[in-house]
Amino acid sequence: MAETTLQTGIDVIKSHVKTAPTAPGVYRMLNTHGDVLYVGKAKSIKKRIVSYTQEKRLTHRLMRMVAATRSMVFVTTRTEAEALLLEASLIKRFKPPFNVLLKDDKSFPYILLRQDHEWPQITKHRGARKHKGQYFGPFASVSAVNRTLNTLQKVFQLRSCSDATLESRTRACLLYQIKRCSGPCVDKVSRKEYDDMVGETRAFLEGRTSGIQKKFASAMQEASDALEFEVAAVFRDRLNALTHIQSHQTMVNAMVDEADVVAAHEIAGQIAIQIFFFRAGQNWGHRAYFPKHDKSETVPEVLAAFLTQFYDNKPAPRLILTSHAIPDQSLMAEALTERMDRKVEISVPARGKKADLMKEAVRNAKEALERRLAETASQTKLLQGVADLFGLEDPPERIEVYDNSHIQGTNALGGMIVAGPDGFMKNSYRKFNIKDEETVPGDDFGMMREVMHRRFSRLLKEDADKGRGHWPDILLIDGGKGQLSSVMEVLNDLGVADDVCVVAISKGPDRNAGREQFHMPGRDTFMLPINDPVLYYLQRLRDEAHRFAIGSHRAKRSGDIKKSPLDGVPGIGPKRKKALLHHFGSAKAVSDADVRDLEGVDGISRAMAQQIYDHFRD
């Protein structure tokens, strides 16, 4: 790195020091193109950014960051705790390359006990909380939710069906027959009995299970004494199901009631973070994370950055146990307490059962990281094999795979999936709706030309405007020589044919898997040995592109099927559409109706009737 470049960055920061606020807040460091390099928080922004001007105290990572800095942005907050929360939000929004980044931050599934219907429903939920009710979670996976729901159905027998299904049923469903639902749809249970079940379910999910167990045991005994053995058997089965799940949670109940156990482990400069979720005295699963970070950053620093980003969009429990003491631990607890509007404690267990639980979490983090490193080594070997096969100097960092999908030319689209050293890069997947009027429906070659032209035209523009285009090392096309020729025609027209390796993969003789043929410009068609690991890898890439294209096509086709011809009529909203369908019975009948018949529908004026008539005739 040139010394003058570093000095330029230091001079930029010095110029911002003069106007920097002394209040707490967040600062952003930007490069020449305005991209965010780093987001940081400080108790005093001015004092914090002064440290970046002291060259001797800068690590090599910070030197690179300062050298690339060309401007700064400041946002002040009322408190340092607010600055911490804002910092996490901005990091997740901008994904700066010099911050620790939490990857794979998908939303977690919850159990929803709905309260917006006279017969409350229990179901799994993910995403925005639109329904009125109580949300219990998070669960580490959908399978953990399903296991808990399965137990709840056995014990409390609340409905899991949708409102529409509930209202349309005329006889009890299979779940009622196998004693997984109490049958409110056909009045097999009274309102009071059902409300009691709802209360028991809520108590169970909140960890208050001992009273429920006593209640079931008492009810079973009363039914038995009254010689109502079928009723007694129902309570016996519910009691057995409850006892079964409690037996699996005995160890947990003795340790924590509501907590997240967060453990970190480092191997060869890489860090894995394992988090266990405990709610209502039950283990609701665990998940491993591998944050993106610089090797110079310590485990406590990475763990602190992980926690701020992890709880940015998730409710924090009352207790967070960590394997390491983190920087600004009390500040983070204060920020989470402020966000949750209740006390949140962060601590490092030193002894006792909580420490034993932490050892178990650390062991899981270690094993997860070891598996990750083994998979990475295998992936590196495969990518080197791909480079050798296709004549690349280095293993590819970005492989783009393309496939098209349509049915006789309808709902046509192209799909692009991306893979690299870390596996599939699903955030980079793209679909291309085929919309060029010159593309003949069903013309696979024309579709591929349109997809390639749109993709690389945009890539050239991004690279010219901001220097941040993501250029592929390999283009893998699902198809044969025809598709390859179509792609090369577009790349030659755009002048980028020499900048990327293009390979087409076809099914080969008899379309048998394992006998795929590879086509490259200026090279004879070739095949790989049927047991070659590189062949299996390329097959997986091709199959993933096919899955993505087919799935996108089906979603598009399903959306079109649901559309009504009335949706395109100007001035026809939901109410008028409903009135027309009720009057005529179908959209086809509406399109065939004359003006006088249309005018006879409530809410349809003479002018509107004429407009509808003209729309379908035009």
Assessment of whether the complete model's pTM goes beyond 0.95: no
Whether the Cβ atoms of residue 392 and residue 378 lie closer than 8 Å to each other: no
From the CB of residue 337, how many other CB atoms can be counted at a distance below 10 Å?
Answer: 17
Cα–Cα distance measured from residue 101 to residue 98, given in angstroms and rounded to the nearest whole number: 9
If asked whether residues 117 and 209 sit together in one domain, one would say yes
Domain-embedded: residue 494: yes
Same domain, 236 and 134: yes
- Asked if residue 171 and residue 205 are part of one domain, the reply reads yes
Question: Do 556 and 437 share a structural domain?
Answer: yes
User: What's the pLDDT at 2?
Assistant: 47
* Runs of H (alpha helix) within 226-351: 229-247, 250-253, 299-310, 329-340
Taking phi over 0 as left and psi of -120 to 50 as alpha, with beta for the rest, 29 belongs to beta
What's residue 514's pLDDT?
Answer: 64
Q: Are residues 138 and 242 in the same domain?
A: yes
The residue out of 227, 253, 279 marking a domain boundary is 253
Q: How many domains does the chain have?
A: 5
What pLDDT, on a 0 to 100 scale, did the predictor assign at position 253? 46
Indicate whether 227 belongs to any domain.
Answer: yes
Which among 94, 122, 142 is the end of a domain?
Answer: 94
pLDDT tens, position by position, 386-404: 999 999 999 999 999 999 8
CB 489 within 8 A of CB 481: no
| Tokens at 361, concatenated | 């979490």
Strand ranges of the sheet holding 122-125, from the earlier edge strand across to the other edge: 122-125, 110-114, 133-136
> Residues 443, 507: one domain?
yes
pLDDT given at position 465: 57
**547 shares its domain with 601:** no
Asked if the structure places residue 391 within a domain, the reply is no
Task: Give a yes or no: residue 389 inside a domain.
Answer: no
For residue range 118-175, list pLDDT tens digits in order: 899 999 988 878 888 888 888 887 877 887 888 788 778 899 888 888 888 888 888 8
What are the pLDDT digits (tens) for 409-422? 566 788 999 999 88
> Distance between CA atoms of 5 and 2, rounded to whole angstroms?
5
Residue 147 lies in a domain: yes
Query: Which segments of the chain have a pLDDT < 50?
Result: 1-2, 248-254
Q: Beta strand pairing status for 110-114 and 71-76?
A: unpaired
Greatest CA separation found in the chain? 93
| C-alpha distances in Å from residue 429, one per residue of 423, 479, 549 | 13, 19, 10
What percent of the chain shows pLDDT beyond 70? 90
* Predicted pLDDT at 255: 59
> What does the pLDDT look like over 234-263, one tens digit per residue?
777 777 766 655 554 444 444 567 899 999
Alpha helix segments (H runs only) across 495-605: 533-562, 574-584, 587-592, 595-599
Where does 330-381 show beta strands of DSSP type E? 345-347
CATH number where 297 lies: 3.30.420
Same domain, 27 and 120: no
Same domain, 452 and 587: no
Q: Do residues 159 and 233 both lie within one domain?
A: yes
Residues 130/151, Cβ–Cβ less than 8 Å: no
CA dihedral 408, 413, 414, 415 (to 10 degrees): -120
| Three-class SS state of 262 | strand
- For residue 381, is it within any domain? no
Nearest to 411 by CA among 375, 369, 447: 447
Position 613 in a domain: yes
Say if residue 162 is in the same domain as residue 202: yes
Q: Are residues 504 and 364 in the same domain?
A: no
> What DSSP element (H or E) covers 517?
strand 517-520
Return the CATH number at 25.
Answer: 3.40.1440.10
Residue 278 inside a domain? The answer is yes
pLDDT for 39: 96
Range of the domain at 88: 3-94
For the domain that residue 605 is a member of, what is the CATH number? 1.10.150.20
Which of 204, 230, 253 is a domain's end point?
A: 253
